[in-house]
Chain A
Amino acid sequence: MTRVRLRYSKLGKVRFLSHRDVARVLERAVRRAGLPVAYSQGFSPRARLHFGLALSTGFESIAEYLDVDLVDGVGDWDVAELPESLSACLPDGLEVGAATTIPAGTPSLQDAVSWCTWQLDIPGVAPGVLAAAVERLGSADSIPLDLVRKGKQVREDLRPLLGDLVAERTAEGARLVADLGTKPRSVRPAEFYAALDPTGPLPDVADVRVLRRHQWINVDGTRREPVSLGPPSPHAQERAS
């Protein structure tokens, strides 16, 4: 069995699909592309697709990942052609951009991804309004966040889960680019947005357009994307054999 890791994007109208919807659409695409996908054993066999961190309904992304197990020795497929053949079976806005085989024993996406880079487009707000808030967050020692977790009110510190943070001016308003951690648990972009303490009014979070730019894994102490664009490293080849 070979495990293939795919990177795909979710842009435009399909941003309104739920994570579950996207999973089903991808599963059908894998079948339609005629890939020899492996199935789980048991009474109701499921295609062996392993998804990464969920992307909320309404969010866009250019950095979603999926691992698929394919049966060896069945069918004709070439990993280099997977982006094209799968994209042909996907709706507008969902597109597979890169694919690579990964060695057995590679940690799952859920386990491996430790940071995400998020882009928040905030309409109708002057960049100046955000500048102070960004500065304050950047220099704070702790950022208390009041959250509801499992029906309970809890206070958490956002500080250790907030990485680089940049504000930019856009035609419609302002853009924030923020690195948010996923360990021990993911900070949601909406939670981060609520932690901003601007000097002026901010639009409702429902009006903020959110896009995931990157997901990061840690390989030998350096931050890498789960699918590197270049050929697999010799190191990886070694481990695969």
Chain B
Amino acid sequence: MSAPMAAARSAVSSPPGSLWDRLEPLLSRVEKPARYIGGEDGAVRPDWSSDAPGGPVSWLFTYPDTYEIGLPNQGLQILAEIVAEHPHGVAERAYAPWVDLEAELRANGVPLFSVDGHRPAGAFDLIGFNLSAELTYTNLVNLIDLAGVPVRAAERRADHPLVCVGGHCTYNPEPVADFVDLVVLGDGEEVVSEITDVVLDWKAAGRPDRRSVLEALARVPGVYVPAAYEVSYDGPRIRAIEPRWPGVPEVVEKRTIADLGEWPYPQSQLVPLTEVVHDRLNVEVFRGCTRGCRFCQAGMITRPVRERPADQVRTMVREGLRRTGYDEVALTSLSTADFSGIAGVIGDLAGRQQDAGDLAGRSGSGAAGDAGDLCGPVSVSLPSLRVDAFGVGIAAELQQGRRSGLTFAPEAGTWRMRQVINKLITDDDLYGAVEAAYSQGWRRVKLYFLTGLPTETDQDTLGIAELARNCVEVGRPHLRSPGVTVSVGGFVPKPFTPFQWFGQNTVAELGRKIGLLRDEFRSVRGAQMKWHDPAATQVEGLLSRGDRRLGPVIESVWRRGGTFQEWSECFDLDLWAGAMAEHGLSMDDYVHRHRTEDEVLPWAHLSAGLHQDFLWQDWRDALAEVGLPDCRWTPCYDCGACTGYGIEHVVASATPPAGGSQGTGQGLAWDRGAVPVQLGVRGGS
């Protein structure tokens, strides 16, 4: 290469410089500085070289909460790896600095930075945020500002980064529509490269105006550009949502990868140098869930089920443990016991643990080494345990060592209520699971419940205490003091679920129910109750189903210092109530009002593949206390998730694992006769 060319190239693609020298003195003054240094094992060394005419396309993948919460996010890790593999892509990562460092940064004029190269966030082409929790929205705004970028998308120029969001919250991104340039719906594995290509061309063309790249991006399937749509209102309701730019789709469909087996990512999961949540190897065994729990947005929007081939799971576990040195692996999914290859994978892992155990026995002190490829004792966890003896059996096989606590999520206190939410677990399923747990050495069970569910009566609420009391009794023959911890959260209706029309319980009503339960729990010996703050639940509800008029509300809360609202010590309902009043909006209209079938919902122009009439029928079925089976092993009822996209479930085995299609111990197979729930058969009759 000739010298002048080299000079020209470096002019366009020289990476932004490191801020480390300015940052380092600040780190001596803040808590837990290790979260800002990067250097994780497995991190891709960013390669900023590129022979593309406009230079590489750089992404800053950002989690809008602390490093401890954000680092384990598998979605961002997957995307960073895929971008790094793109011949002209470069990826770095950033997290929200805690309030102490933020104050130092602002006082010293240092912007938000990447932890990989400590480069300024404003120097990236795209800042890609993961939105997994509504209460992080003010952090999103704060980080955009800390990056030195105008918080409102409309005020950005061509040389500002494109602000992109993905993740589960983006099925209703309207409350943050003012702040973001583009939104990605659904699986990001394919679309991230398509976005990179569009931005690459735009840079090659000399980075003309911002509108041109946004128009091109709006034509990428799965990409939603809020500025391209106009929303009109009619009182609290929406009159219409219409495309404002030519050539953009009327409805933006989510992206779905057909085969998880083609995406064995992350290939080198990050191993942080400091403690984070879920600090272990995570291997995703399937994506999607068709059990049809009606409150569960994750289950609805990630359909259909796509399993990873069992062999690939084994390889990812083996290689991952060897590479990372972790002594714990989690097999992740929305319900891992439903993985059709679970028996094989577990047999394999349990066998390897056995090898390690034998070796320990021989040496008399426990050992690592050649033990079945695992470097020392390994514990395997299933973050989502099925409420039945089968689930406990799996856990028992995997957790040879410490058996402190097991967690189950019956979600509601009575069978009637569980039919409404389609979590078809009988009381006996739960007792069977709890009995199995105590009899196999666990000392404590944790039970998760929701309150404020549609049609919930006080009898249903109090049923939670009744279940807890009986669980303690079930444990008595096995333990002197069996522990039961109950966690109660307020229900927040989510977009693209059958409950999206339901008016959320008020703070007062949730408070009353929690009070009822607290009184009742006084007489339940051995059980402990914890609950989620109803005020935070209200704001989650506000943002979950809000529209674009909440943009100014979020901005006001942020301007008054309302960041880290996920953290109970920072959450402040008064800030939100004040901002709503300031902008003339009513909490009641947004949170507590029941929606009607004909109402235009704020996400009407977006699609998770689910037919509107399926969701509405399922809502009616819920009110009629009618259950719906899992379509993985029973006939398809055409919710739209597969049919609309020409894809189907990918399961390794045509028969459900032990325990039945709904994952309950009772089995809901069509041929099993007596099924204690009326099955909703679609199309009448």
Interface residues of A (CB under 8 A from B): 1, 13-14, 16-18, 20-21, 24-25, 27-32, 34-41, 43-45, 47-48, 57-58, 69, 71-75, 89, 91-93, 206-207
Contacts and interface: CB of A to CB of B under 8 A. Distances in A.
Contact of A71 (B39, B41, B365): B365
A35 B376 CA distance: 10
B273 A39 contact: no
A206 B369 contact: no
B366 A41 contact: yes
Contacts of A93: 39
Given A31-B375, A91-B39, A92-B39, A71 B274 contact: no
B596 interface: no
Contact of B369 (A18, A47, A75): A75
A19 B150 CA distance: 40
A58 B37 CA distance: 12
Interface string B33-49: 11011111100000000
B103 interface: no
Give the interface centre of A13, A35, A69, A74 by most chain B CB atoms within 10 Å.
Answer: A13
A17 B274 contact: yes
Contacts of A29: 325
Nearest to A123: B25
Given A13-B39, A14-B39, A38 B325 contact: no
Given A47-B376, A206-B28, A28 B368 contact: no
Give the interface centre of A17, A30, A41, A75 by most chain B CB atoms within 10 Å.
Answer: A17
Contact of A44 (B27, B37, B401): B401
B630 to A, nearest CB: 36
Contact of A43 (B36, B375, B402): B402
B375 A45 contact: no
Contact of B25 (A43, A73, A74, A207): A207
B360 interface: yes
B28 A207 contact: yes
Contact of A38 (B20, B326, B365, B403): B365
Contacts of A30: 325, 368
A57 B365 contact: no
Contacts of A71: 363, 365, 367, 369
Given A32-B322, A206-B29, A41 B36 contact: no
A1 B368 contact: no
B495 to A, nearest CB: 40
A14 B37 contact: yes
A43 B369 CA distance: 20
B376 to A, nearest CB: 6
Given A28-B326, A31-B368, A58-B28, 14 more contacts: A13-B39, A16-B27, A17-B273, A24-B275, A36-B369, A38-B367, A39-B368, A39-B377, A40-B365, A44-B401, A45-B360, A74-B367, A91-B40, A93-B39
A48 B327 CA distance: 14
B366 A89 contact: no
A72 B363 CA distance: 8
A44 B402 contact: yes
Contacts of B375: 31-32, 34
**Main secondary structure on B side of the interface with A:** loop
Nearest to B43: A91
A227 to B, nearest CB: 23
A16 B33 contact: yes
Contacts of A57: 33-34
B254 to A, nearest CB: 37
5 contacts: A16-B34, A21-B273, A58-B28, A91-B41, A91-B273
B531 to A, nearest CB: 30
Contact of A13 (B38, B322, B363, B365): B38
Contacts of B326: 28
B370 interface: yes
Interface residues of B, number: 39
A32 B27 contact: no
Contact of B33 (A28, A38, A58, A74): A58
B198 to A, nearest CB: 35
The 9 A-B pairs of least Cβ separation, nearest first, read A39-B366, A28-B325, A32-B325, A16-B33, A36-B369, A31-B375, A31-B325, A71-B367, A206-B28
Contacts of A37: 367-368, 376
Contacts of B401: 43-45
Give the interface centre of B28, B370, B403 by most chain A CB atoms within 10 Å.
Answer: B28
B34 A74 contact: no
A89 B33 CA distance: 22
A28 B273 CA distance: 10
A164 B376 CA distance: 45
B149 to A, nearest CB: 26
A205 to B, nearest CB: 9
B37 A39 contact: no
B504 to A, nearest CB: 41
Interface string B307-337: 0000000000000001111110000000000
Contacts of A41: 365-366
Contacts of A73: 363
Contacts of B28: 58, 206-207
Interface string B1-37: 0000000000000000000100001011100111011
A217 B637 CA distance: 75
B333 to A, nearest CB: 25
Contacts of A13: 20, 37-39
